[in-house]
Amino acid sequence: MATRNGIRQFKDEQDYREHFVIQGEIDKYLPGGKHFIDEDLINRTLAEADATPVDPVRIREIIAKSESTCETLEIAETAALMRVTDPALFEEMRAAADRIKKKVYDNRIVFFAPLYVANPCVNGCRYCGFREGNAQQKRRILTMDEVREEVEVLAGRIGHKRLIAVYGEHPKSSTDYIADSIEAIYKTACKAPKTGAPVGIRRVNVNAAPLPVDDLRVLKDVGIGTFQVFQETYNRKLYEQMHPAWSVKGNYDWRTTCFHRCMEAGVDDVGLGVLYGLCDWRFEVLATILHARDLERWFNIGPHTISFPRLEPASGTRVPEESPWLIDDETFRRILVVMRLSVPYTGMIVTARESPESRNRALDCGMTQLDCSSNIAIKGYSDFSDEAHQEKERQQFMLSDNRSIEEMVKYLADRGTITSFCTAGYRCGRTGGCIMDALKTGREGKFCKINAVLTFREWLDDFAKDPATIAAGEDLIKKELAGIEQWVPKFYPTVKKQYDATCAGARDLFF
Ligand code: SAM
Ligand code: SF4
């Protein structure tokens, strides 16, 4: 494994635990020792909202503000939205969430797949199958050859272009290894099964432990997409109960300041998330907004995405079944709607942890990205030909939505939603701050629509097997092209030229 300049090496797990966190990189972003997750403020805001009757006029004003400005709401406004239980008023909120999603991202859903690369872990998160000491879990750090084998299935057989690479926290699979594996993923060249066209992974997002600034710069250099770190819970006391003090992850401040360090390192697409089910969801929603606002305050850039993982059964733990804060499907849907209204510009990810019904319903609640044909067992894609295969001892938790990419594409096309495999934003520098304004004004959504059509065309030609999927896709593309012609008549000939070139076999064209 290459050792990159400036990256600290650790002699063993204990050395890593004791020295990995750099206190100065925490303090810099908590001036005066004051944390931006102000728990008293959150609790006061929730109590005030509870003491105030729901006023439909105010709720409609808040909805209108979100829709017209596309700016992050004040937490008191979000707290008011969270109080709405009247079905008719909630339906107004949901419809507005859907309109905002369409204004910012148009009628497309971006596809990605998880790739679990390494599962040894020095932490003891009580809800996670990977935690240290869980003897039921089989451990593995993929070699670079094995990484390539996984990518050959993901990019060469399924047709994914965007991955989220996932890692446990361990000195043997830390920054150098993460950088090596990102490079290996990008370099794996595949051929499409139907056309023989060159295909591969074009964007590698990462979900890993918080890193120091120098390490993040290394990941920036190898072309990381979004860096995701889920906070799990923002409630410090519950956080400490779930993450033992002896573990690196036990350091709440190191985790909460991670995205500030990302921005400092130039990794300006960051992905927030809470593990729903660990704490009162209303507290978590307000804390997420405080986090987003603090990033906006320091860097003028908010979260590129927010994910909505919910606790799922995992090997060797009962926390996912027994936590007192588990939420039902209806509450999950409310969270999505409230978050779409509260952080209107952000991408929203709902993973295959959710059931098919829950994900189908999320489509009308502001969701923008989903994974499919997912296998989260380590080496799962190349070891099992059956895409739905799951093995509790080889994966972090269990998935609920096992639908294949083909099923998902068809389902979306039938409802008039276009699947996007576009990764252009990252390749032409539309990240972080550059993309924020374009998103808020709806400009980015329109660009992306064109790229969605081109990449969808590629996928249909390169990978689609079922004639019914192809027919549904063709119908949708026709409608989309007509829509683009109406929207930008002068520009349309250029779009059509690119589209025709794609049909003739050109690949990776984008706007
Ligand atoms: N190990 C790194 C860390 O914790 O920061 C990387 C992320 S971990 C491999 C991916 C995420 O899975 C965690 O942040 C957590 O939110 C989620 N997760 C862990 N256990 C889970 C469970 N039982 N059900 C659903 N999601 C879970
Ligand atoms: Fe390790 Fe991440 Fe699992 Fe915690 S959530 S035990 S850090 S893999």
Span 334-393, pLDDT tens digits = 999 999 999 999 999 999 999 999 999 999 999 999 999 999 999 999 988 666 677 777
Is the separation of the CB atoms in 248 and 122 below 8 Å?
Answer: yes
Distance 167 CA to ligand 2 centre (A): 8
Distance 125 CA to ligand 2 centre (A): 6
Residue 312 has, within 13 A of its CA and on its CB side, a CA count of 18
Average pLDDT over residues 18-29: 98
Distance 311 CA to ligand 1 centre (A): 9
**Cα distances (angstroms) measured from residue 472 to each of 112, 222, 229:** 21, 38, 36
Q: pLDDT for 294-332, tens place per residue?
A: 999 999 999 999 999 999 999 999 999 999 999 999 999
Distance 209 CA to ligand 2 centre (A): 8
Q: Which atom of ligand 2 is nearest to the CA of 132?
A: 6
Nearest-angstrom CA–CA distance, 329 and 332: 5
Q: What is the pLDDT of residue 447?
A: 72
Joined together, the tokens standing for residue 467 give 């004639």
Which protein residue's CA is at the shortest distance from atom 8 of ligand 2?
168
Q: What is the pLDDT of residue 425?
A: 59
Q: What is the pLDDT of residue 409?
A: 97
pLDDT band at 433 (very low <50, low <70, confident <90, very high): low
Q: What is the pLDDT of residue 13?
A: 96
Q: Which atom of ligand 2 is nearest to the CA of 249?
A: 7
Q: Which atom of ligand 1 is nearest to the CA of 128?
A: 20
Is the separation of the CB atoms in 163 and 205 below 8 Å?
Answer: yes
Q: pLDDT for 445-476, tens place per residue?
A: 567 788 899 999 999 999 999 999 999 999 99
Average pLDDT over residues 502-507: 93
Nearest-angstrom CA–CA distance, 159 and 153: 8
pLDDT greater than 90 at residue 440 = no
Share of the chain above pLDDT 70, in %: 95
Nearest-angstrom CA–CA distance, 284 and 239: 12
Residues 220/224/225/228 CA torsion (nearest 10 deg): -100
Classify residue 394 by its DSSP letter.
Answer: G
Q: Who's near 186: CB < 8 A, 6+ residues apart?
A: 200, 201, 204, 222, 223
Is the separation of the CB atoms in 396 and 318 below 8 Å?
Answer: no
Q: What is the pLDDT of residue 444?
A: 58
Q: What is the pLDDT of residue 256?
A: 98
Q: Which atom of ligand 2 is nearest to the CA of 396?
A: 3
Q: Which atom of ligand 1 is nearest to the CA of 273?
A: 16
Q: pLDDT for 42-61, tens place per residue?
A: 999 999 999 999 999 999 99
Mutate-to-test residue for ligand 1 from 123, 275, 326, highest number of ligand atoms within 8 A of CB: 275
Q: Measured on CA atoms in the order 435, 438, 439, 445, is the torsion positive or negative?
A: negative
Mutate-to-test residue for ligand 1 from 396, 398, 399, highest number of ligand atoms within 8 A of CB: 396
pLDDT greater than 90 at residue 255 = yes
Mean pLDDT (the chain) is: 93
Joined together, the tokens standing for residue 360 give 């189908």
Q: Which atom of ligand 1 is nearest to the CA of 255?
A: 5
Mutate-to-test residue for ligand 1 from 174, 230, 272, 325, highest number of ligand atoms within 8 A of CB: 230
pTM of the model: 0.95
Question: Measuring CA to CA, which residue among 93, 56, 87 is closest to residue 73?
Answer: 93
228 DSSP β-pair partners = 207, 271
End-to-end CA, the chain: 37
Distance 454 CA to ligand 1 centre (A): 34
Distance 26 CA to ligand 2 centre (A): 21
Distance 417 CA to ligand 2 centre (A): 34
Q: Which atom of ligand 2 is nearest to the CA of 119?
A: 8
Q: pLDDT for 118-129, tens place per residue?
A: 999 999 999 999
Mutate-to-test residue for ligand 2 from 167, 169, 394, highest number of ligand atoms within 8 A of CB: 169
Provide the 10 A C-beta neighbour count for residue 146.
18
164 DSSP β-pair partners = 114, 205
Helix (H, G, I), strand (E, B) or coil at 85: coil
Distance 19 CA to ligand 2 centre (A): 18
Nearest-angstrom CA–CA distance, 498 and 469: 23
Is the separation of the CB atoms in 202 and 216 below 8 Å?
Answer: no
Distance 243 CA to ligand 2 centre (A): 9
Residues within 6 Å of ligand 1 by CB: 127-128, 166-169, 207-209, 229-230, 232, 275, 309, 311-312, 314, 320, 353, 396-397
Is the separation of the CB atoms in 271 and 304 below 8 Å?
Answer: yes
Distance 428 CA to ligand 1 centre (A): 31
Distance 443 CA to ligand 1 centre (A): 34
Distance 128 CA to ligand 1 centre (A): 6
Nearest-angstrom CA–CA distance, 286 and 333: 16
Q: Who's near 72: CB < 8 A, 6+ residues apart?
A: 289, 292, 293, 296, 302, 342, 343, 344
Give me the amino acid identity at 103: K
Mutate-to-test residue for ligand 2 from 16, 20, 131, 395, highest number of ligand atoms within 8 A of CB: 131
Q: Give the rounded distance of the alpha carbon of 187 from its chain centre.
A: 23
Q: What is the pLDDT of residue 423?
A: 79
pLDDT band at 183 (very low <50, low <70, confident <90, very high): very high
pLDDT greater than 70 at residue 435 = no
Burial level of 180, CB count in 10 A (0-12/13-18/19+)? Answer: middle
Average pLDDT over residues 205-234: 97
Burial level of 220, CB count in 10 A (0-12/13-18/19+)? Answer: middle
Q: Which ligand is the nearest neighbour of the Cα of 120?
A: 2
Residues within 6 Å of ligand 2 by CB: 121, 123, 125, 128, 130-131, 168-169, 249
